[in-house]
A and B are shown apart, each in its own frame.
Chain A
Amino acid sequence: MIPQKFEYTAPKTLDEALLLLAAGAKPLAGGMSLIPMMKLRLAAPEHLVDLGKLKDLNYIRETDGTLHIGATTTHAEIESSPILRKKCPLLAETAAAIGDVQVRNMGTIGGSVAHADPAADYPAALQALEAKLALKGAKSDRIVAAADFFVDAFTTALQPNEIIREVIVPVEAAGTGTSYQKMFHPASGFAIVGIAARVRKKAGNIALVRIGVTGLSNRPYRAATAEKALEGKLGSATEIQNAAALVAKGVDANSDLHASAEYRRHLAVVHAARALMTALARTA
């Protein structure tokens, strides 16, 4: 459990960090996945740039009806943020479901999202929230939709030397209910399956449904057919069941010791129904 020799820099400013990254350094943003890999010597970066110490990436603020979360904001900060709990409770609820207390105190949203573990919790919420990610490189500054960000397991739209600057999520409109339902992996705490649901009601009907799925396959995704099946409906138990039944359709599900592909698919359906049911109840 002893890593290879590496340089460590904790820059004071984002620009300084970006310059180091452009020179080939690897970003450290909490280290909940990277450090264990380094201890096993499965990862051996020569130079680590600690983004976690950058004060200008740690914030949660509201501007123009959207919420901006700095990349180095920890899961614990997101979980306990009064503004998020009120205006984007799905993200706070999802953060609270991550790993354990120690991980939530150290891990950051930027680090987790950039790492793109296929069983991470945030991607489900980000898909459901139609979140945007602000990416920054030494010479670039761009916005990418969550839907386009996650490409495959551990593979994202991030270019080499680019980092996540902030995560942008909407302020929930009135009449919106959300829920994150997850089956915990008993060893790792990751999601065997995690479903984030958003439901908005208007004049008694379901006006908007968003369902984000993580853990089931290599890529977190939005279950668009399931969403469509429920939009415009009243939200009866049968309607929810029918919609939930569609979330895993055509998805190449992963399997491991704790859950086969078949079981994972089934769990996705069950948790989708529960998430939708809970979200619907919270629209009131």
Chain B
Amino acid sequence: MATTMTQTETFVGKRVRRREDPRLITGTATYVEDIQMPGMHYAVIVRSPHAAARIRSIKTKQAEAAPGVVAVYTGKDTERVGPVPCGASLPGLRVPHHHVLATDRVYFVGHPVAVVVATDRYLARDAADLVEVDYDVLPAVADPEKALAKGAPAVHPEWPDNTAFTFHQEGGDVDKAFAEADLVVKQRMTSQRLIPMALETRGVVAEWRGADRQLNLYTSTQIPHLVRTLVAQMLSLEENRMRVVTPEVGGGFGSKLNVYAEEALMGFVAMKINKPVKWIESRRENFLCTIHGRGHVDYYEVAAKRDGTILGIKLKIIQDLGAYHQLLTPAIPTLSVLMMPGLYKTKNVRADIVGVFTNCMPTDAYRGAGRPEATHGIERMVDLLADELKMDPAEIRLKNFVGKDEFPYATATGLMYDSGDYAAPLKKALEIVGYQKLRQEQIEARKQGKWMGIGISTYGEICAIGPSPATPAGGWESATVKIEPSGKVTVMTGACPHGQGEETTFAQITADELGVGLDDVLVIRGDTAIVQYGIGTFGSRATAIGGTALYFALQDLKAKIKKFGAMLLESEDVTFSAGQVTCNRTGKSKSLQEIAGASYRALKLPPETEPGLLATRFWEPPNFTFPFGAHIVVSDIDGETGQIKIRRYVAVDDCGNMINPLLVDGQVHGGVAQGLGQALWEQVVYDDNGQLVTGELMDYAVPRAHMMPWIENDHTTTPSPVNPLGVKGVGEAGTIGCSPAVVNSVVDALSPLGVRHIDMPLTPEKIWKLIAGGN
């Protein structure tokens, strides 16, 4: 296109289709696996089949002699590569040294032991079979509660109690609250381990240009800049000699918010062999060696008055950490603690976390990261309380919500909720679902021996993570906007969106601010050589923080555009709108394209103004944002088989202002799919010996399209005062809101049997046993 169209059409708030979709749908996008380079070598990693073992010896001779093999490296070779980093810090945290390849011991099934490099991926794989590792198998422990028991095998011999940390947080006067309570409800519940299951597994291409002293690392990550900083450290390489490129990422869900052994290992290999090397994770490896999510055992106690007022909450979390700390492993359960009061007013809370080592893959951030666990807990407890008091679950929530005139609201856990009207989405959802009528129907259904349940979940979440003091590596985000001499606009965002759709939403924001068309805007992300610096995309932060940085960069540019326009129009009295600077007196105007051209030609410059049109902003948010919403599930249970059918799924979400409601709905759909996965089907099962028995898609049940119910989306809009866009974030909302609504509906259906709680996943067999046992 030769010209930049200036236009009056605006885009923010409209259901604009995603600009990234055509290349994704047609299979023409470039992922790490699509990168080809002359002289490419291939790596295959030899991994431990045992959950705990001493390595007696590793014989690599045969593998080294195999056709096409150029090198085999073991832990001895990589001892000087820095440890896989843990970015979280907690008082007294025990951090095991996490080598990129095991040295004398393995700690979980899948632990990398050696890497075989060959000219061809088939030959590399063949040779991997020839690496002989002699293991002295040791007892393992895979269950966090068993790991805490006396006499349990020690995951790390230096810490026989398997305790990585304990954490305590308290607010208000919990003992007084419990002493004054009319009743206390207690429940143990679990939030099972899950596989994040990105469609694209991990993958790395590393290219060492020895002559330039330059390492190029292509990796499927959510955080390219942090990977550069940390992997450069691991390799003792100057950070400015390393470039990280993140091509298309086929899903992360938190699993790629990490720095993995393989990223440094491929850098190491490339520097050793002086040739590019590629490693693509197999699906089996993805199950074994990419972080898992959740892994909680929670003990809840809620104190209340007879009228339903919640007085206080006690929570003990046993967090299954796995064998090591990945980037944020120990920090995840602390997010659960922050969110433990949910949307409710109680000022008295006490939480204790025990972080437990097990002979399993580490857990870390998975969509929601600590918040689904917290929401599941409090939303189940509120239902238990309602049941005990014979109150309606909607009514008890409305009674305890923080009032809409109480914002900003300081919580007992030290947060400041930014804005909210918690009753609004609940009331809307109740109306959409036809709550009163459903309750009537339920009475009739029960008379006919049918199992029908209605479940409510009202969630709040911490988004826009986060202010720098709350994050290990900075909580701000950056944006650069450059208007090219032709008037085309290039946006470089430090957030590294990977499927969320910011190529569309950031273009919408930019187009509106500058008065250009969507196609005039290019959004670039994921290349440390192009993008200034950035934190990345996770914690529902890209739009709220990255979008705000972009907004401020655009304001800077607009001021400069105005200056150039004023100069060209020889007037001080000008307005910039719809891509034109117009003289308010003469009505004459200059287009953005003309102004951009003039700014670069620089024949004449406005006073104290540099040539060109470029602005960069690093924006530090003053607070998190706190979206909220209400999800209602109506379920019907087949009493003979225990199978659950979700008849209705109503999601009313309030994520502040919506840049693109179509994408907001899409995020909710995806989030709900993963929430349903946890509620109904998914579970990571390690056996007593630490073998992963759900290590393939034939055993691990992720939801397929045909298993999804119809989702009825709606919204309320409470703008956030934290940022000028008024946005909050929605990437994780669906997952957070979902699971308690499902479980509450099923428990509600079975409540005539005296059922109070069921742990996830709600398999048909569990349900059938409850029904068969109860009848």
Contacts and interface: CB of A to CB of B under 8 A. Distances in A.
B575 to A, nearest CB: 57
Interface stretch (B119-127, B233-241, B483-491): B119-127
A1 to B, nearest CB: 4
B46 to A, nearest CB: 13
B409 interface: no
Interface stretch (A13-21, A49-57, A254-262, A276-284): A254-262
Contact of B122 (A5, A100, A188, A267): A5
B387 interface: no
B120 to A, nearest CB: 10
Interface stretch (B299-307, B416-424, B690-698): B690-698
B31 interface: no
A183 B699 contact: no
A270 interface: yes
A186 B707 contact: yes
A266 interface: yes
A259 B701 CA distance: 13
Interface string A39-57: 0110000000000000000
A1 B700 contact: no
A1 B283 contact: yes
A2 B126 CA distance: 9
Contacts of A186: 680-681, 701, 707
Nearest to A192: B764
A187 interface: yes
B609 interface: no
B530 to A, nearest CB: 33
B416 to A, nearest CB: 42
A258 B641 contact: no
Interface in A142-198: 183, 185-188
A74 B574 CA distance: 71
Given A40-B284, A41-B129, A186-B681, A2 B765 contact: no
Contacts of A185: 701
Given A4-B126, A258-B763, A267-B641, A187 B700 contact: yes
Contact of A188 (B126, B643, B699, B772): B699
B704 interface: yes
A59 interface: no
A257 B641 CA distance: 16
Nearest to B642: A263
Q: With a 10 A CB-CB cut-off, give which of B641, B704, B769 has the most chain A CB atoms.
A: B641
B274 interface: no
B685 interface: yes
A263 B765 contact: yes
Given A40-B284, A100-B704, A270-B641, A5 B126 contact: yes
Nearest to A271: B641
Interface in B667-722: 680-681, 683, 685, 693-694, 697-702, 704, 706-707
A52 B769 CA distance: 44
Contact of B701 (A36, A100, A183, A187): A187
B475 to A, nearest CB: 38
Contacts of A4: 126
Interface residues of A, number: 21
Given A186-B681, A186-B707, A1 B282 contact: yes
Contacts of B73: none
Given A5-B122, A100-B704, A187 B699 contact: yes
A100 B702 CA distance: 14
Contacts of B765: 258-260, 263
A280 B204 CA distance: 59
B127 to A, nearest CB: 11
Interface in B41-76: 44
A257 B699 contact: yes
A187 B697 contact: yes
B741 to A, nearest CB: 20
Contacts of B707: 186
B435 interface: no
Contacts of A183: 641, 643, 764
Given A186-B707, A259-B765, A270 B284 contact: no
B405 interface: no
A2 B698 contact: no
B158 interface: no
Contacts of A266: 768, 772
Interface string B639-679: 01101000000000000000000000000000000000000
Contacts of A40: 284
A241 to B, nearest CB: 11
A36 B284 CA distance: 11
Interface string A230-257: 0000000000000000000000000001
**Chain A CB within 10 Å — which of B282, B693, B701, B763 has the most?**
B701
Contacts of A36: 698
A237 to B, nearest CB: 13
A258 B700 CA distance: 10
Interface string B738-755: 000000000000000000
Interface in A183-220: 183, 185-188
A196 to B, nearest CB: 18
- For A183, A185, A186, the residue with the greatest tally of chain B CB atoms inside 10 Å of its CB is A186
A266 B641 CA distance: 8
Nearest to B705: A100
Interface string A1-37: 1101100000000000000000000000000000010
Contacts of B763: 258
A188 B698 contact: yes
Nearest to B704: A100
A120 B706 CA distance: 20
A183 B642 CA distance: 11
Nearest to B761: A186
A82 to B, nearest CB: 25
A187 B698 contact: yes
Contacts of B44: 2
Given A187-B700, A257-B694, A2 B768 contact: no
Closest 9 CB pairs of A and B: A186-B701, A187-B701, A2-B125, A1-B282, A188-B698, A263-B765, A270-B640, A186-B681, A187-B699
Given A2-B122, A4-B126, A257-B683, 4 more contacts: A1-B284, A2-B44, A259-B764, A266-B768
Interface of A: 1-2, 4-5, 36, 40-41, 100, 183, 185-188, 257-260, 263, 266-267, 270
7 contacts: A1-B283, A5-B122, A185-B701, A187-B697, A187-B702, A257-B683, A259-B764
Interface of B: 44, 121-122, 125-126, 129, 282-284, 640-641, 643, 680-681, 683, 685, 693-694, 697-702, 704, 706-707, 763-765, 768-769, 772
